Structure 1
Amino acid sequence: MFNTTRLKARKARFLNRWHAWRATRTRAEVTGFVSSPEPRTIGSFARGRQLMAGNYLFAGTLVEGAEGTPWQVKPPDAAFSAELHGFAWLDDLAAVGDTTARATAQKWLWAWVDTYGRGRGPGWTPDLTGRRLIRWINHAIFVLRGQEKEQSRAFYRSLVQQTQFLARRWHGAAPGLPRFEALTGLIYAGLTLEGQEDLAEPAIRALARECTVQIDKNGGLPTRNPEELLAVFTLLTWAAAALA
């Protein structure tokens, strides 16, 4: 039997790869932020310390005693990989906040740029890119402190490439939480990155449409999943704060 679901998934993967490849070849450049970004996400000090000790707990799976960077670890499953590439763990390292935590965050972030920054790998999906952009922007001051000019250029270059990818592919994210993540990340980038301001307004309008379609008059989502509902309203709060 012809499997349309599988065909759609293959098409989405192809389009993600294609637009990621195109985005990494953009001539657009960013050299700074419109204003200094402030962290709006709060991590766990305890989780941050565990990460620094080489104990990676993602999506309920623990990998212990890892050395080097997380990108050298074979992910046990797709959910583990998704959490890793979403960079929410950057909140936890920032919660520790000392020089060792900063050095760890810098090492891991620039290792991602070196390994996946050319548009390859499982992190180039609209929802994960949106999630990752939010964390990179939130903690930009934390990770850029003490970095050389070339490293800063690589950071901003990757930010603009991921932003260009989102501008082309946000609509490829599944309706619901994944699309809210993609659009919130695009709004963040459009409002904070120099030269990307034109991307913000279309993303804001798209987010408003998604709210109308996905959130009912009682404030619920079609999935009726309370965890997803909390995540969506957290994203909307961040988007509203960015617009303020």
Structure 2
Amino acid sequence: MNRLHARIASFSRPATAFSTTPEPRTIGSFARGRQITGGNFLFAGFLVEAPDTAIWDLPMPDEGFETEIHGFTWLDDLAAVGDHHATKRAQDWTHAWIAKNGRGAGPGWTPDLTGRRLIRWINHAILLLNGQEREVSEAYFRSLAAQTIFLSRRWKAASPGLPRFEALTGLIYAGLALDGMDAHVGHATRALAQECSREIDADGGLSTRNPEELLEVFTLLNWAAAALQDMGQSPGVAHIAAIEAVAPVLRALRHADGGLARFHGGGRGLEGRLDRSLASSGVKAVSNEGLAMGYARISHGRTSVIADAARPPRAEASANGHASTLAFELTSGRRPVIVNCGSGATFGKSWRRAGRATPSHSTLGLEGLSSSRLGTAGKLIERA
């Protein structure tokens, strides 16, 4: 159904311009951008070395690798480099995607990937359009409009949680930025507020209990709120309440060195993203006494301890969960002293599975058994 709707959307009335000048809100990695311009492509745990090869001509070692490049987060990294070579690759590869996949082809036509891609295309519009011919610009705006129409019809097909937040944030972004697309903003804003009420509990946590995922959701909510406010519109009440609830939780889950605790598939977070997101939210509150999303925190001076003190995520929320009951991490100053291994997903499926087991965590283990076991479809099942 996604491809059918993408094909139909490609015949929609094209946008012709931005209603406001886009400002980049996503910041990538300079080092990663250098790797990409040098022909080293690391996605979904696979490294492909292919100098002077377009990203769409790479041999795809895994479905996850191909899916990830269709989200265009690598645009952030190329923009961080920003030189002639990085700019040319960003422009050429984006235009090539439009020519190859713009009418519904390829694996990139899912609501979450489309939302992620729209955010990057709009954020880096100046980079992508600088010095381009008119026909290239027209194709770019035509594709933006098609993706916006697609999202307006298919965002509900995104899985609840982070994928749906990405889809709705992308729809709000595009609706506000593109001429003639503002009709989608009101509905998307209300839907985003409803998702906040449904997915973020009163204490500011997610059912997945993944700290890095919570940061990604928080970042998207901040971006959407800022985009709405910049255009003189108000985010939903539940949207603002979610931002205010999540900020103290993230502060509680941040170690003394500024990184997030590694639990339930989450890593430390992209460099600087947590600080930027907390600052842009304007929320100064800190977490109250008690658990923050099921984690206990002890800190003194420049030393912090964060422990998993709640039941593991269950059912659908456990798809990336770890058997980490009572595991803890300790950081002193800028030095992590005791850590969990974190997600092994960047090293492939086998390492991902190993990283989810109890022996990959700093906790008590008995004869190598995990405190929870993996059930069907990779979901966690608590042991009796």
Same fold? TM cut 0.5: yes
Q: How does 1:57-136 map to 2 (within 5 A)?
A: 57-136=42-121
CA–CA distance in 1 between the matches of 2:53 and 2:97? 12
CA–CA distance in 2 between the matches of 1:68 and 1:92? 17
> Please, what TM-score do these two structures have when normalized by structure 1?
0.92
Alpha-carbon offset, residue 32 of structure 1: 0.8
CA contact (8 A) 2:71 2:113 kept: yes
Query: What amino acid sits opposite 1:216 in the alignment?
Result: D
Q: Which runs of 4+ in 1 moved over 3 A?
A: none
Q: How does 1:231-242 map to 2 (within 5 A)?
A: 231-242=216-227
CA–CA distance in 2 between the matches of 1:187 and 1:19? 19
Task: Indicate the percent of aligned positions where both proteins have the same amino acid.
Answer: 64
**Tell me, what secondary structure is at the counterpart of 1:86?**
coil
Query: What amino acid sits opposite 1:40 in the alignment?
Result: R
**Tell me, what secondary structure is at the counterpart of 2:113?**
helix
CA contact (8 A) 1:33 1:194 kept: yes
Alpha-carbon offset, residue 127 of structure 1: 0.3
CA–CA distance in 1 between the matches of 2:179 and 2:172? 13
Alpha-carbon offset, residue 66 of structure 1: 4.2
CA–CA distance in 2 between the matches of 1:217 and 1:157? 41
Alpha-carbon offset, residue 46 of structure 1: 0.9
Match of 1:53 in 2: 38
Alpha-carbon offset, residue 226 of structure 1: 1.3
Match of 2:373 in 1: none
The reply to whether residue 215 of structure 1 matches residue 200 of structure 2 is yes
Alpha-carbon offset, residue 78 of structure 1: 2.0
CA–CA distance in 1 between the matches of 2:22 and 2:100? 26
Match of 2:228 in 1: 243
CA–CA distance in 1 between the matches of 2:97 and 2:54? 9
Match of 2:2 in 1: 16
CA–CA distance in 2 between the matches of 1:75 and 1:202? 37
CA–CA distance in 1 between the matches of 2:67 and 2:222? 23
Structure 1: segments with no counterpart, 5+ residues: 1-14
CA–CA distance in 1 between the matches of 2:34 and 2:117? 21
CA contact (8 A) 2:50 2:58 kept: no
CA–CA distance in 2 between the matches of 1:147 and 1:21? 26
CA–CA distance in 1 between the matches of 2:228 and 2:138? 26
CA contact (8 A) 1:16 1:125 kept: yes
Alpha-carbon offset, residue 74 of structure 1: 2.6
Match of 2:268 in 1: none
- When structure 1 is superposed on structure 2, of 173-182 and 16-25 the one drifting more is 16-25
CA–CA distance in 1 between the matches of 2:57 and 2:211? 34
Deviations 1:157-208 (A, max 9, x none): 0000000000000000000000000000000000110000000110000000
CA–CA distance in 1 between the matches of 2:20 and 2:44? 34
CA contact (8 A) 1:23 1:164 kept: yes
Q: Which has the larger radius of gyration?
A: 2
Normalized per residue, which structure has more strand?
2
CA–CA distance in 2 between the matches of 1:70 and 1:100? 14
Deviations 1:33-62 (A, max 9, x none): 111000000011111111111110112211
CA–CA distance in 2 between the matches of 1:107 and 1:209? 38
Match of 2:182 in 1: 197
Alpha-carbon offset, residue 154 of structure 1: 0.4
> Please, what TM-score do these two structures have when normalized by structure 2?
0.59
Structure 2: segments with no counterpart, 5+ residues: 230-384
- Of 166, 171, 174, the residue aligned with 2:156 is 171
CA contact (8 A) 1:66 1:73 kept: no
CA–CA distance in 2 between the matches of 1:50 and 1:25? 37
- Structure with more contact order per residue of length (Cα contacts < 8 Å, sep ≥ 6): 1
Number of residue-to-residue matches in the alignment: 229
Deviations 1:194-242 (A, max 9, x none): 0000001100000000000000011111111112111111110110111
CA–CA distance in 2 between the matches of 1:75 and 1:128? 17
**Tell me, what secondary structure is at the counterpart of 1:63?**
strand
Alpha-carbon offset, residue 72 of structure 1: 0.8
Query: What amino acid sits opposite 1:17 in the alignment?
Result: R
CA–CA distance in 2 between the matches of 1:231 and 1:130? 14
